[in-house]
Amino acid sequence: GDSVTQMEGPVTLSEEAFLTINCTYTATGYPSLFWYVQYPGEGLQLLLKATKADDKGSNKGFEATYRKETTSFHLEKGSVQVSDSAVYFCAAGGTSYGKLTFGQGTILTVHP
């Protein structure tokens, strides 16, 4: 079945540092890829997505590019803020109303 692997956390950064959270997937066919964010005490919010190879998803300064050749969808942000502190989930799937497979989540803490 499908699987998603994220870099282990937690990740701790200072404000304005560069962020990368690695995500790789294994799937049959070409799934859509997603990043979701979960702020403390809240549900999941869609951060960005990409539906085909070489697509770049972007939102709130975050970016991720669908790399078919490396089966990756790494999340990046050039300058993180304290308000970005949250848990980030990479997910694959969603084709034809299908289910999502989630990575294990990466806890990000940003210090002032």
Partner 1 sequence: SAVISQKPSRDICQRGTSLTIQCQVDSQVTMMFWYRQQPGQSLTLIATANQGSEATYESGFVIDKFPISRPNLTFSTLTVSNMSPEDSSIYLCSVGGKASGSTDTQYFGPGTRLTVL
Backbone phi, psi, residue 96, to 5°: 50, 45
CB of 108 to partner 1, least distance (A): 15
CB of 23 to partner 1, least distance (A): 12
Residues near partner 1, by CB under 8 A: 32, 34, 36, 42-46, 49, 51, 89, 94-97, 99-100, 102-105
The Cα–Cα gap between 87 and 98 comes to: 24
Residue closer to partner 1 by CB (options 40, 112) is 40
- Give the strands of the sheet with 19-21, arranged side by side: 19-21, 75-77, 62-65, 56-59
Residue closer to partner 1 by CB (options 67, 105) is 105
**What are 62's two structure tokens?**
């975050």
